[in-house]
Structure formats: structure tokens, C-alpha cells
Amino acid sequence: MPQHTDNDFGLIGLAVMGQNLVLNVESRGFSVSVYNRSPEPTEAFVAAHPGRRIFGFHSLADFVASLSRPRRVMLMVKAGAAVDAVIAQLIPLLDADDIVIDGGNSLYSDTERRDAWLAGLPDKPLRFIGAGVSGGEEGARKGPAIMPGGPASTWDAMRPVFEAIAAKVDGQPCVAHIGPGGAGHYVKMIHNGIEYGDMQLICEAYALFQAAGMSCDEMAAVFAQWNQGALQSYLIEITAKALAERDAESGRPVVELILDKAGQKGTGQWTLVNAAENAVVVSTINAAVEARVLSSMKAQRLAASSRLQGPNPTIGLARASLVAQVHDALYASKIVSYAQGLDLMRTMGQKKDWGLDLAVIARIWRGGCIIRARFLNHIAAAYQADPALANLMLAPFFQEVLNRSQQAWRQVVALAVTQGIAVPAFSASLAYYDSYRSAHLPANLLQAQRDFFGAHTYERIDKPAGQWFHTAWPEVIE
Ligand code: NBP
């Protein structure tokens, strides 16, 4: 393989994301050194792209030696132990101030640990960036959304490359310095949680349309039409395209041939764990993660389907009314899902003192990433107008949409419940909306129960806040 030194950028991990990122970086005028643990992908990749300034190495030492200083080495390897293994191999080869970037889907707390590890190396502190990269294969090649976390000085050193390779919306790159330490990977985790919510909400709309007897082609036309309006987004667009796709062998819609068992890789679950740790409600994302879990229990569901009773869904509503109502339910639920994800980011950002700018985060999510959508312009505008916004639902634009949509949303959830169609994300979102807008909740009775069995005390509506009372409740005779 041709050797070349003084290259601008190094990338380790030539699976689907790594290869496409390298092609992207090289196409913006940077020379790139590449290395992969097993040598075959390196050989094949370099051979497949002759004439490009991509240089493959079979030795990590040669790879490192081929880079200009400070070296910029990006890892696109499997998240978890592989990242630690590669970093440990790199440390003896790098010099102080070289920059290591982890572009995989690492857990933010692992990123914080690695940041401290590299910054704390006694003889030669290294700089570390944990960068969330979203957009899948196509995004990596043409322009992903990038969420880098780490010291501001390291961001400055990486900025030219990141801004060159990121997606652009209205001429602005879909990348910005998110914050220190694990902030970038954290924001990518929330992005993925929100992605889970968006996907599940679309699937619930599909379930209702299916129950109403709509064909995949009819549904594809509805989603394509929705993609021209307020719901315009990458996920709605690919849903329309997926529904229209026919199997070459049988001529049937491909979607109808796919087994209804969803997979997941963990970022949705991480979001739930973090939400629980911070006592923030992410019920739409929770419903989405749990819907995937329940879908994966195919054998149990099949067995239960002949034993547990429910109605046979019949949706008599006129097609146009159903489509309009489901549109509104989906839009309103989506607003709730984003409100919850943003609330979690705000809470965690404050706790960690990350200085997260939610307007900037919404802005960089507008392009390149899986949740890219027109809708994000309104979120960016809402946080720009009011950075201290307590909840997205209260921004004037979203308040108006929710007030306008709530009736149809209720009708859709009621219809689904009476017809026995599970719509966990629609219903969880609506319950959040109704709880959040309730001046009074039944938690007074809950406090009575807590005080009854545990003397946990309660505040009273007729006394100043902060005064705590206990009642001598009657004894329970067993
Ligand atoms: P994978 O996540 O499938 O990882 C495969 C790569 O990791 C290969 O290059 C492999 O080398 C390398 N690797 C492994 Br596995 N263990 C290693 C070790 N101990 N030492 C060195 N290298 C090791 O690749 P991917 O799908 O391209 O994703 C890369 C990262 O980007 C992941 O963190 C992923 O979560 C994230 N991501 C993926 C997508 C997507 O759409 N795929 C989107 C956004 C983010 P080998 O060839 O020698 O086995």
C-alpha cells in the first residue's frame, strides 16, 4: 500500500461508519490515514478508492507516525471495551497534546472516564473528544450531525474538520461544541432516545391505518403527503418510501413480509436509566423502548393472542377524518416526546454544569441526523426566544399546536383503546400532557397514604408551604 506522511487526519475502524466518514473527510480536502484491527478491510477499502488521498496502514505505529501534529485520530470502533482497547494501544504511540476523538455511540459516563484518563496521563496529557455522530451510513458519507464534547481548546483544533464534514442547513454546519467531558455523547444519547419515540409514534399511526384497512400504498401516499407539511422529517419520508417498496419475488409490500420483532442496541435504555436517575419523565421514550421489548416477545404474544380477549378492531371512521386525527395525535405526541427529551437534557446539563444551549442543539439536529425535521426550526426558535423555557409545550408556537390538536389526539387514543389497538406512545404522551396541565392531581391522597403507613408527613393547602404535618391515622386491625 502507498505510504504517505504528514496526513491531516487519522481514522481507526473501517466498518460502515468509519469508511463513509473517511470518504467524507477526504472529499473535503484532507488527507487521511486509516487503520483497522483486522487488515483485510484496510486493503479492500484503499484498493476500492484509487486516486484518493486515503492511506492504509497495517501497523498502528506506522499509522500514528504518518499523521501531522498535533495528531488527530478518530475512533469509529464498536462502543464499549473496543474503545478502551484501542486507546490503550494508542497511548504509547502518541505525544502530548495529540487529539483522540471517539466518534462511536459511547455511553457518556465512559467518555468522562476516558477524558480523565487521557488528560491525567502523567508524562504526556492527551486531548480527548467524545463526539456523537448521527446519520447512519449516508450521513457519515454526505454529512452527519456531529455532537462533540470536550475542552473548548480541543474543539477549536477540530473545528475545521468537523465543520467541513458536517451536514449544512441554511449554510450552517450541523455541528457545534456541545460542552465539556461527556456532554457530546450525552446529547447523542438523548437524540437516539427521541429517535426511538419518533419511530414508535409513526408505527402507532401505521397500526391504526392498518386496522382501518388501508393498504401499504395508501399509507405511503399519506406519509408522503405528511412529509410536505408540519410533520416533514427524514423518518416520515423513509416511512413513505418503505411502505411503497415491493418485494421482487412475491410482489407484496416488503413491510408486510418483515417479522414484527424490533431490535435495539441500548441507547434508548440508557436514556431511560438516566431519566430515572434525574427524576425526569420521559414517558414517550419509555413507551417506545418498552414497545420494542414487547414486540421482541413474539412467541409469548402468539400464545397469548388466542387466550386473552379483546375486540376485533373495526374502524368505521371516514378515511379522511381518521388521517387528519392521527396526524394531529402524532404531531402533539411528538411535541411531548421532544419536550421530555429536552427537559432531561436541561436537567442533566444543569447538574453537570455543561452549559448546554438547547437552541444550538436543536439547530444542529436539523440536518444530517436521523431525527432531522422542519419542526426543529421551531424548537431552536423557542429556546432562542426564551433560553430558560421550563417546558417546550409552553412555548407559544407549541402551545397553540397542542391546544388545536388535543381534541383529535383524545379521539385517536380513545378509538385505539376501545378497538384494542396498543398505542403506548400516543397514550403516554397524552397522559403527560394532561398531568402537566392539571392544576390539581390526586397526589394529595398519595401523600395521605405515605403519611398513613410511613409517617412521611405532608404539606397543607391551608398552611404556608414548607410546614409539614402528620395525622394520627386510625389503626389497621389485621
Ligand atoms: P461496529 O460498531 O460494527 O464496529 C466494527 C468496528 O470495530 C470494526 O472496525 C472492528 O474491527 C472494530 N473493533 C471491534 Br468490533 N473490536 C475492536 C477492538 N477490540 N479493537 C479494535 N477494533 C475493534 O461499526 P459501525 O457500525 O461502523 O459503528 C461504529 C461506531 O459508530 C459504533 O460505536 C456505533 O454504535 C456508532 N454508530 C453507528 C451507526 C450506524 O448506522 N452503523 C450510526 C451512528 C453511530 P474488525 O474489522 O477488526 O472487527
- 430 with 477, same domain? no
Q: Which three cell numbers stand for residue 90?
A: 494508542
Instruction: Identify whether the C-beta of residue 330 lies closer than 8 Å to the C-beta of residue 205.
Output: yes
The CATH number assigned to the domain holding 468 equals 1.20.5
Of the residues 17, 22, 102, 267, which should be mutated to test ligand 1's pocket, given the most ligand atoms within 8 Å of the CB?
17
- State whether the beta carbon of 16 lies less than 6 angstroms from ligand 1: yes
Q: Last residue of some domain: 181, 215, 237? A: 181
Position 4 scores a pLDDT of 76
Residue nearest to atom 6 of ligand 1 (CA): 77
Q: Is residue 106 in a domain?
A: yes
- 330 with 293, same domain? yes
Position 316 scores a pLDDT of 87
Q: Is residue 4 in a domain?
A: no
Residue nearest to atom 33 of ligand 1 (CA): 104
Q: Is residue 270 in a domain?
A: yes
The CATH number assigned to the domain holding 346 equals 1.10.1040.10
Q: Is 237 a catalytic residue?
A: no
Closest CA to 106 of 270, 262, 263, 264: 270
Cα of 79 vs centre of ligand 1, distance in Å, is: 7
- 234 with 376, same domain? yes
Cβ-based neighbours of 204, under 8 Å, separated by 6 or more:
330, 416, 422, 423, 424, 425, 426
CB count within 10 Å of CB 361 equals 25
Residues of the chain with pLDDT under 70: 1-3
Q: Which three cell numbers stand for residue 261?
A: 420483532
Annotated catalytic residue: which of 188, 204, 245, 256? 188
Cα of 20 vs centre of ligand 1, distance in Å, is: 12
- State whether the beta carbon of 224 lies less than 6 angstroms from ligand 1: no
Q: Is 188 a catalytic residue?
A: yes
Annotated catalytic residue: which of 112, 195, 204, 334? 195
The CATH number assigned to the domain holding 50 equals 3.40.50.720
- 151 with 243, same domain? no
pLDDT tens across 268-284, in order?
999 999 999 999 999 99
Domain count of the fold of the chain: 3
* Structural domain boundaries, residue 478: 444-478
Q: Is residue 3 in a domain?
A: no
- 234 with 377, same domain? yes
- 232 with 377, same domain? yes
CA distance 286 to 292: 10
Position 294 scores a pLDDT of 98
pLDDT tens across 380-439, in order?
999 999 999 999 999 999 999 999 999 999 999 999 999 999 999 999 999 999 999 999
Query: What is the distance between the terminal CA atoms of the chain, rounded to a whole angstrom?
Result: 83
Q: Which three cell numbers stand for residue 275?
A: 431519566
Q: Which three cell numbers stand for residue 284?
A: 414517550
- 97 with 194, same domain? no
- 23 with 88, same domain? yes
Q: Is residue 1 in a domain?
A: no
